[in-house]
Copies of this chain bind each other. A is one copy, B any other.
Amino acid sequence: MASTDRVAAAVLIIGDEILSGRTQDTNLRDIAKTFAAHGVDIAEARVVGDIKDEIVGALNHLRARYDYVVTTGGIGPTHDDITADCVAEAFGVALYEHPDILAMMQSRWQGEITPARRRMCRVPEGASLVLNPVNGPPGFQIGNVFVLAGVPQVMRGMLEDVVPRLRSGSVVISRTVRVEGTGEGVIAAPLETVAKAHPDQSLGSYPFFGPDGYGTNLVVRGRDGAQVEATVSELLAALQGVGVTGIKPAEEG
C-alpha cells in the first residue's frame, strides 16, 4: 500500500543548449509523468547552464529541500560535461573510476579508452550506478540525488532503474473536464466555489483556443479517487447551474 503522505522531488536540468533555446527540453515532462505514476510529485524545476557554481549551488539547495532530486545532462565525455564533478563537489567527496564502467568501456571499445571516454568512468565516492539500457555509460545515485543523461531516449531508459528506488507516495488521481465554447471568465466563479469547498484537492483551469474553437479544460487532482470523482460531479452540477453547455464527460489525465 502506498502511504498517504506527499513525496516531493525537484528536477535540475543542466545545459546551455536548453537556455539558449537551441534544444527543447522534454525531460521534465517525462520525469514528472513517471514520478507521478509512482506517487512522487515534482515540486520545482530549475534550468542552469554548464557553470560549476550554478550547478553546485542549485543542487545543494534542492537536495536539502526535497525528498529527491533528478539531474539531467552533462554526463558525456566532453569538456563541457561537468555534472559528475559538480555533484562530487556538492557532496564534498572525490570522484573515482568505477571498475564496472571501466570494464564496460573496455569491452565496448575493445580496450581503446580515450581520455575523454575515461572521464565517463568517474563517479563520486559512495554513489551507486543507474543502469543505462540504451547507449553509453550509466548514470548514478548519491544520497537522494539521481544523475541522469540529457539525451531523452537515454534519460527515459535510466528512469526505469530509478523508479524502484523511490519511496512511494500516494498517487495523484487526475480528471479533466473539457468545456467547449466557454471561456474562463464564466467558469471562474463556479470553479472557485467548488475549489474552496475542497482545499485538499487541486482544481485548475486551462484555456485552449485554436482553429477548431475555444474552451477550457478543468482539472481536478487529489490523492483519494472517490473524493476526486465526487468533486468532479459537484463541479459538473455547478457548471450546469450557471448555464454552461458544451461539457464533455470527465476523462483521466
Contacts and interface: CB of A to CB of B under 8 A. Distances in A.
Interface of A: 16-26, 28-33, 36, 41-50, 54, 76-80, 109, 114-117, 119-120, 135, 151, 153, 172, 174, 184-189, 191-192, 195-196, 202-209, 219, 221, 253
A205 B78 contact: yes
A21 B42 contact: yes
Complex A-B, nearest 4 residue pairs according to Cβ-Cβ distance, in ascending order? A116-B188, A21-B32, A21-B33, A45-B47
Contacts of A203: 79-80
Contact of A188 (B23, B79, B206, B208): B79
A12 to B, nearest CB: 11
Contacts of A43: 19, 49
Given A33-B21, A174-B20, A185 B109 contact: yes
14 contacts: A19-B41, A19-B45, A20-B221, A45-B47, A50-B204, A77-B188, A79-B203, A80-B202, A80-B204, A109-B185, A115-B188, A116-B187, A151-B207, A153-B209
Contacts of A22: 174, 219, 253
A47 B28 contact: yes
B49 A46 contact: no
A101 to B, nearest CB: 13
Contacts of A120: 185
A16 B204 contact: yes
Contacts of A80: 195, 202-205
Q: Chain B CB within 10 Å — which of A17, A22, A49, A205 has the most?
A: A22
B185 A77 contact: yes
Contacts of A77: 184-185, 188
